[in-house]
Copies of this chain bind each other. A is one copy, B any other.
Amino acid sequence: MKILSVTEKTSFNQLHMGRLLVHDSPHFKILSFSFLEGQELPVHSHEIEGEVSIFVIEGEGEFLGGEVPIPAKAGDIMICNISEPHGIRAKGPMRVLVTIAPPI
């Protein structure tokens, strides 16, 4: 059993988004990203089998990758195939929890 504070272990950085590898195993990979206004996880996709979830822990921004950006706020979750374009952009300080299964 592993327990840690995702929010205490992530920090904001003026230069680039913060990144914390929370867990990596054969079953899933869990990461947390922290963003300041305008920072983003750019739209990307991988031609592999699997799915990704992005849960907004705090803050607000936009889910990217669809036809238009979709508002993202604390408590929202986005789930898609890893092969579908996906990303997220912050409108202010924002933290997200990302789960990838199976792990990349």
Using a CB–CB distance below 8 Å, which chain A residues touch chain B? 1-8, 22-23, 25, 27-28, 30, 50-51, 53, 55, 57, 63, 65-66, 70, 72-80, 84, 86, 97, 99, 101-102
Contacts and interface: CB of A to CB of B under 8 A. Distances in A.
A22 B54 CA distance: 12
A3 B70 contact: yes
B1 A78 contact: yes
Contacts of A1: 63, 65-66, 78-80, 84, 86
Contacts of A8: 75
A6 B84 contact: no
A4 B76 contact: yes
Q: Which of A8, A30, A84 has the most CB of B within 10 A?
A: A30
